[in-house]
């Protein structure tokens, strides 16, 4: 997401806050219950904190790739890599995140396994794949100036970029035109959904539509 998009989001956020404050003020002035225990100022402050937490912990998906393998004479996508990055600089503990896979017939939850730097290896041949089994996911850091991802499983700068990688369970291997909804479930913040649609296997590694 570019700087212009971020500014637009912040303007919208401030506008929503102003509307909320105005509505709250009107309700307070017209309230006839003088003994109410509701504190509008506290409610507004709490709401603001919650919205800020949601925005600052937002994870972007910048790229989504899959790798075809030959399964019983048919090309199927068995590996998926999603390039993720935070919207703003903020500590986000990726080890507490979960991933939900939904093929329309099967729903699976993947748990965090480990993270490593890319170094000179290719994304789909990285040794971290050896630790993945269809029930977990890993992170391959490709840009992380302070090594927070590989060392502490933390994204903490908006310049951080990492491929979130996982193997599909065997019953969820994707053939051409199959669709799958992948949902990132952080421990706090906004839940992210992305729809993956398998393309024709013109090469072993493809970008999802």
Opening angle at CA 186, ends 185 and 192, nearest 5:
50
Q: Helix 3-30 to helix 40-56 angle, to the nearest 10 degrees?
A: 170
Contact 115, 72 (CB under 8 A): no
The dihedral over CA atoms of 161, 141, 147, 87, expressed in degrees to the nearest 10, equals 20
Distance CA 43, CA 49 (A): 10
Mean pLDDT across 83-97: 81
The secondary structure element, H or E, covering residue 24 is helix 3-30
> Two tokens at 176?
């051409």
Long-range CB pairs of 20-27 (<8 Å, 24+ gap) are 20/44, 20/47
> Two tokens at 132?
């993945």
The residue extents of the domains of the chain are 3-56, 59-207
Beta bridge partners of 82: 64, 164
Q: What is the pLDDT of residue 79?
A: 98
Residue 45, classed as helix, strand or coil, is helix
Distance CA 166, CA 61 (A): 15
> Two tokens at 1?
């997401």
Reference 201, options 170, 163, 175; nearest CA is: 175
| Helix ranges restricted to H, 69-193 | 148-152
Chain mean position to CA 48: 22
| pLDDT band, residue 16 (cuts 50/70/90) | low
Q: What is the pLDDT of residue 47?
A: 56
Mean pLDDT across 61-76: 93
pLDDT in tens, 136-170: 999 999 988 788 888 878 887 778 889 999 999 99
Reference 94, options 25, 15, 165; nearest CA is: 165
Global pTM?
0.74
């Amino acid at each position: 997401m570019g700087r212009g998009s971020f500014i637009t989001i912040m303007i919208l956020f401030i506008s929503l806050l102003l509307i909320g404050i105005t509505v709250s003020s009107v309700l307070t002035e017209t309230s006839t219950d003088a003994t109410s225990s509701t504190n509008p100022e506290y409610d507004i402050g709490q709401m603001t904190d919650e919205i800020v937490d949601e925005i600052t912990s937002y994870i972007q998906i910048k790229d989504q790739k899959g790798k075809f393998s030959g399964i019983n004479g048919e090309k199927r996508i068995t590996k998926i890599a999603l390039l993720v990055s935070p919207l703003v600089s903020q500590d986000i503990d990726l080890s507490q995140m979960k991933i939900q896979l939904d093929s329309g017939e099967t729903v699976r939850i993947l748990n965090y396994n480990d993270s490593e730097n890319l170094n000179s290896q290719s994304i789909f041949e990285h040794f971290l794949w050896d630790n993945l089994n269809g029930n977990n996911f890993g992170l391959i850091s490709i840009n992380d100036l302070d090594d927070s991802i590989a060392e502490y499983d933390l994204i903490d700068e908006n310049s951080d970029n990492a491929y979130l990688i996982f193997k599909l369970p065997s019953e969820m291997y994707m053939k051409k035109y199959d669709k799958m909804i992948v949902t990132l479930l952080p421990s706090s913040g906004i839940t992210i959904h992305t729809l993956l649609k398998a393309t024709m296997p013109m090469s072993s590694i493809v970008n999802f539509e």
